[in-house]
């Protein structure tokens, strides 16, 4: 058992095991975004660090069909960070918050050995979508192109310590969230999660006590690329063309790759975070 699964098993209760915890009409989620775990210094601008820390949290809310409303921010700031860098970090956090109508209502600031952002998001959901609602005989799909985040990471690891080597639209630097497609399709979606550790790690969490029959062969890099924040979701076969239609309307790529069947899907790779 890896340490993350160990921790989850230790805190196990009915609230835990999804992207967010549901309390009445509210969904609460929390994600850490840390130097040397999610990025190395120089791999993202300070603006991008702030934006990405918020985005990975907004992603949790979206895949639960919840509208993010409020956030608490915990900032871990290294001693040598400048006021200008703090300002850029703050702009990254606030710009994406404004875009999604999220109000920062509190938090904490601590001097730290590493740069890090802990975000808690409070979202409103009339009808939350849960991972555990996945049934047999459903179709499985993901949005967008998987693999770009890993490609960006490898370039940074191999060639450079500077984010400028990647284009501005690199998925490693800038996540595109799929909120419009997801909210519009939500009535046809049965269960969902975001792809944060790579399909190889996330599929077993999603499928849990089901197996997957692949109806499309996926590439290795599609399995291994983490921090994609594309949406992995399921729907009944009868809604297939409605889902395809919503993806077309939102102009996003959709890959229907599998079907849930009896059995148990096995994890095929280690966690992605380096």
Binding positions for Mg(2+) are: 19, 29, 31, 60, 108, 194, 197
Sequence-separated (6 or more) residues with CB below 8 Å from residue 152: 166, 170, 171, 172, 173
Query: Does the footprint of a copy of itself cover residue 269 (CB under 8 A)?
Result: no
Closest by alpha carbon to 224, among 131, 150, 148? 150
CB of residue 89 vs a copy of itself: minimum separation in angstroms? Answer: 9
Between CA 254 and CA 244 the distance in angstroms is 7
Site for a copy of itself in 80-139 (CB under 8 A): 81, 83, 86-87, 90, 94, 103-114, 116, 118, 120, 122
**Residues near a copy of itself (CB under 8 A), total:** 54
Sequence-separated (6 or more) residues with CB below 8 Å from residue 10: none
Show the site string, 1-40: x = touches a copy of itself by CB under 8 A, - = not: --xx-xxx-xx-x-xx-x-xx-x----xxxxx-xxxxx--
If DSSP codes are grouped into helix, strand and coil, which group holds residue 2?
coil
- Residue with Cβ nearer a copy of itself (20 or 152): 20
Contact 64, 18 (CB under 8 A): yes
CB of residue 102 vs a copy of itself: minimum separation in angstroms? Answer: 12
Interior/surface letters 218-237, b for 16+ CB within 10 angstroms, e for the rest: beebbbbbbbbbbbbbbbee
Site for a copy of itself in 186-225 (CB under 8 A): none
- Residue 237: both structure tokens together: 């076969």
CB of residue 227 vs a copy of itself: minimum separation in angstroms? Answer: 12
- Determine how β-strand 139-143 pairs with β-strand 254-261: antiparallel
Show the site string, 43-82: x = touches a copy of itself by CB under 8 A, - = not: ---------------------------x-xxxxxx---x-
- Residue 247: both structure tokens together: 């993806």
Q: Site residues (CB under 8 A) for a copy of itself?
A: 3-4, 6-8, 10-11, 13, 15-16, 18, 20-21, 23, 28-32, 34-38, 70, 72-77, 81, 83, 86-87, 90, 94, 103-114, 116, 118, 120, 122, 273
């Amino acid at each position: 058992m890896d340490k993350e699964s160990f921790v989850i098993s230790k805190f196990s209760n009915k609230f835990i095991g999804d992207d967010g915890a549901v309390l009445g009409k509210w969904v609460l989620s929390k994600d850490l975004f840390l130097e040397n775990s999610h990025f190395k210094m120089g791999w993202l601008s300070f603006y991008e660090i702030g934006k990405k820390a918020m985005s990975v949290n907004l992603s949790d809310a979206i895949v639960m069909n919840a509208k993010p409303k409020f956030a608490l921010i915990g900032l871990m700031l290294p001693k040598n960070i400048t006021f200008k860098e703090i300002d850029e970090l703050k702009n990254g956090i606030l710009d994406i918050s404004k875009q999604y109508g999220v109000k920062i209502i509190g938090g904490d600031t601590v001097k730290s050995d590493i740069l890090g952002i802990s975000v808690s998001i409070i979202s409103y959901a009339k009808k939350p979508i849960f991972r555990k609602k996945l049934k047999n005989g459903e179709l499985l799909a993901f949005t967008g192109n998987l693999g770009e985040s890993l490609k960006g990471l490898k370039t940074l690891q191999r060639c450079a310590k500077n984010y400028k080597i990647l284009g501005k639209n690199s998925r490693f630097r800038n996540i595109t969230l799929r909120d419009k497609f997801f909210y519009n399709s939500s009535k046809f979606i049965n269960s969902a999660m975001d792809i944060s550790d790579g399909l190889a790690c996330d599929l077993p969490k999603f499928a849990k006590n089901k197996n997957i029959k692949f109806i499309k062969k996926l590439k290795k890099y599609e399995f291994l690329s983490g921090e994609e924040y594309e949406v992995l979701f399921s729907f009944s076969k009868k809604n297939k063309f409605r889902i395809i239609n919503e993806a077309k309307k939102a102009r996003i790529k959709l890959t229907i790759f599998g079907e849930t069947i009896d059995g148990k899907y096995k994890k095929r790779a280690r966690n992605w975070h380096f």
